[in-house]
């Protein structure tokens, strides 16, 4: 009986090749094959994405990762204070963040959302008055958020190499340069 069914299936295969007819079973088999192929591709893409994130994390030294965590936590707290629903890094959030880091004076509102709280070292009065942080400290804040952005892009399967450049626009670089000048002048004034 098995030989008869095998003969029939071989016969159908030969008949298809001759007259070009396709049966419903053939359509189902082709659909299953297409689904399996799409699933295999999706799994391969997801695996590549996971490896990309892993490689990105491995590229940073452990000490750098630990160092960045503190600054990235500052970014996350800032996002919450500004009432952003997530901690994702976008240029529209990054620019005001950098401006606030280097603001000359704090501005306190009853609504925390509108407050401007620049970074201060050895701060008094709730962390709002104190010495200006070094330009290197400001760079660490900026670099850590850019690194966080790279991690987020890698998690989405996107390359951050060209997008990272977009975060460091002329405006952001100008803000940091202006801060560095202010820092030097402040240091000279205190001599």
**Which tokens in the block code for residue 144?**
């850590």
CA distance 71 to 85: 19
- For the entire predicted model, the pTM comes to 0.64
Contact 76, 132 (CB under 8 A): no
Residue 104 has a CB neighbour count (10 Å cut-off) of: 9
Average pLDDT over residues 154-172: 73
Partnered with residue 107 across adjacent β-strands are 116
Band of residue 178 on the pLDDT scale cut at 50, 70, 90: very high
- What pLDDT score was predicted for residue 164? 54
Per residue in 68-88, pLDDT (tens digit) is 999 999 999 999 999 998 999
- What pLDDT score was predicted for residue 155? 78
DSSP 24-84: HHHHHHHHHHHHHHHHHHHHHHHHHHHHHHHHHHHHS-HHHHHHHHHHHHHHHHHHHHTT-
């Amino acid at each position: 009986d098995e030989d008869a069914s095998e003969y029939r299936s071989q016969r159908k295969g030969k008949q298809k090749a001759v007259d070009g007819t396709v049966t419903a079973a053939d359509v189902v088999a082709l659909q299953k094959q297409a689904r399996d192929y799409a699933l295999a591709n999706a799994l391969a893409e997801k695996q590549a994405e996971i490896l990309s994130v892993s490689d990105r994390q491995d590229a940073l030294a452990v000490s750098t990762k630990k160092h960045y965590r503190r600054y990235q936590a500052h970014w996350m707290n800032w996002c919450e204070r500004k009432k952003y629903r997530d901690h994702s890094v976008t240029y529209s959030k990054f620019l005001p963040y950098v401006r606030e880091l280097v603001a000359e004076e704090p501005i306190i509102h009853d609504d925390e959302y509108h407050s401007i709280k620049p970074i201060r070292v050895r701060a008094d009065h709730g962390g709002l008055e104190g010495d200006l942080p070094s330009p290197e400290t400001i760079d660490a804040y900026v670099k850590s958020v850019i690194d966080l952005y790279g991690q987020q892009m890698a998690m989405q399967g996107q390359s951050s190499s060209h997008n990272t450049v977009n975060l460091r626009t002329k405006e952001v670089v100008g803000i940091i340069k202006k801060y560095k000048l202010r820092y030097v002048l402040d240091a000279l004034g205190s001599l």
